[in-house]
Amino acid sequence: MEFKLSPKENYIRYLSGEVPEYIPSMLDGHGGRVAEDLLTPQACPNGPIVTTLGVKYVGSADLNNGAMPAPGEYVVTDILKWRDQLKIPDFSDFDFEDYYAKKTKGVDLEHKYITFSNGDYFLTLVSLMGFEDAMLALYEEPEEVKAMLDYISDFYLLVQKMQTKYVHPDGLMLMDDDAAYRAPFFSVEMYHEFFKPYHKKHCDLALENGMFIERHDCGKCEQFIPDWVEMGISNWNPAQTTNDLVGIKKKWGRKLGIAGGWDNVKWGQVYDEEELRAGMVEYVETFAPGGGFSFSVMGAMGDDPKVKRRTQFIHDFYFDYVQPYYKNHGIS
């Protein structure tokens, strides 16, 4: 089926709170990727990565090479000594213009929707100290935690400003997992005290430069949604089903797009195509009406023939059934 809008234009319409011409998905190719080596890595397929903050990340094929802090290797072992243990290099003479020119070489900045991830303050705290010590520090030494986050924030905001100046990205992905599958790691009150002030700085900077803001947050994090909307966030992934997604869509409508909502725990290992199709049809019929939805069923990586067949089936289902859903249902 032919469409008037390019994938990037259609995705921007979706983020703007309008009903898009067609249901967007990462499968439609709207996104463009610029590798960012200065911040927290998203993947680690080729061995350990040591970040600007000195955190060592490792990957595992079993986890699709997602980057995880190396177990037991902490930068900050005592929150009272963080000033001695955490040293961010001096970037005053760093050639950001040349750096981003090299990073964007070959990237279609005009026709692809370009976004950078930033603002992962809770996960940064955990990566520096380990989960248990990070949580204890929040309760036992709150002012020291805030002082350390201030120090980190100066660097994170500098990078975002340079990305904005030299790349002109379309969006910011505020990426900070602060919840487990069934419950948040801390209260809304603690979020307001420790992390929202930093998230808001990044959001304000993005909005000042005409960028869209998307939120990546796994787990049961729905209690933070009012804060997200207040800060200008217009899209949420992966919007896991442990949250009341039907109620959230009813309350917020297209003000907060759901780029997720697929129950991968239930369906991730289903290979029967008839059963999988029925599940995806129900998923689309639940979230597509009225807009504010991005199809987020993805296949898995690997050379297993049944895995590859399943991935191809999902791909074909998106283009045959999902993408033209609004046109086929007379919705515009």
Q: Is the dihedral of CA 60, 64, 65, 68 positive or negative?
A: negative
Residue for token pair 């390019």: 6
- pLDDT score for 292: 98
Residue for token pair 């420790």: 194
Q: With a threshold of 0.85, does the pTM exceed it? A: yes
| Percentage of the chain exceeding pLDDT 70 | 100
pLDDT score of 189 more than 90: yes
Last residue of a domain, one of 210, 236, 261: 261
Structural domain including 152 reads 33-261
Both 73 and 165 in one domain: the answer is yes
69: β partners = 57
pLDDT score of 64 more than 80: no
End-to-end distance of the chain based on CA atoms, in angstroms? 15
Tokens, residue 273: 């195509």
Both 14 and 76 in one domain: the answer is no
Both 71 and 193 in one domain: the answer is yes
pLDDT score of 96 more than 70: yes
The count of structural domains within the chain is 2
Q: Is residue 266, in this structure, part of any structural domain at all? A: no
- Between residues 326 and 35, the one the model is more confident about: 326
Both 192 and 227 in one domain: the answer is yes
- pLDDT score for 246: 98
Q: Cβ contacts of residue 119 below 8 Å, gap of 6+?
A: 156, 172, 174, 175, 176, 198, 199, 202
Both 186 and 134 in one domain: the answer is yes
Residue for token pair 């283009």: 319
pLDDT tens per residue, range 274-321: 999 999 999 999 999 999 999 999 888 778 899 999 999 999 999 999
Buried b (16+ CB within 10 A) or exposed e, 140-179: ebeebbbebbeebbebbbbbbebbbebbebbbbbbbbebb
Both 199 and 302 in one domain: the answer is no
Residue 137, domain CATH: 3.20.20.210
Tokens, residue 294: 């991005």
The CA dihedral of 322, 328, 329, 330, to the nearest 10 degrees, is 130
Average pLDDT for 27-52: 93
- pLDDT score for 168: 97
Q: Is residue 267, in this structure, part of any structural domain at all? A: no
- pLDDT score for 300: 81
Last residue of a domain, one of 261, 287, 312: 261
Both 6 and 44 in one domain: the answer is no
Q: Cβ contacts of residue 329 below 8 Å, gap of 6+?
A: none
Q: Which amino acid is at 145?
A: V
Both 3 and 109 in one domain: the answer is no
Pairing, β 68-69 against β 56-58: antiparallel
Both 130 and 44 in one domain: the answer is yes
- pLDDT score for 332: 63
Both 282 and 233 in one domain: the answer is no
Both 28 and 38 in one domain: the answer is no
pLDDT score of 62 more than 80: no
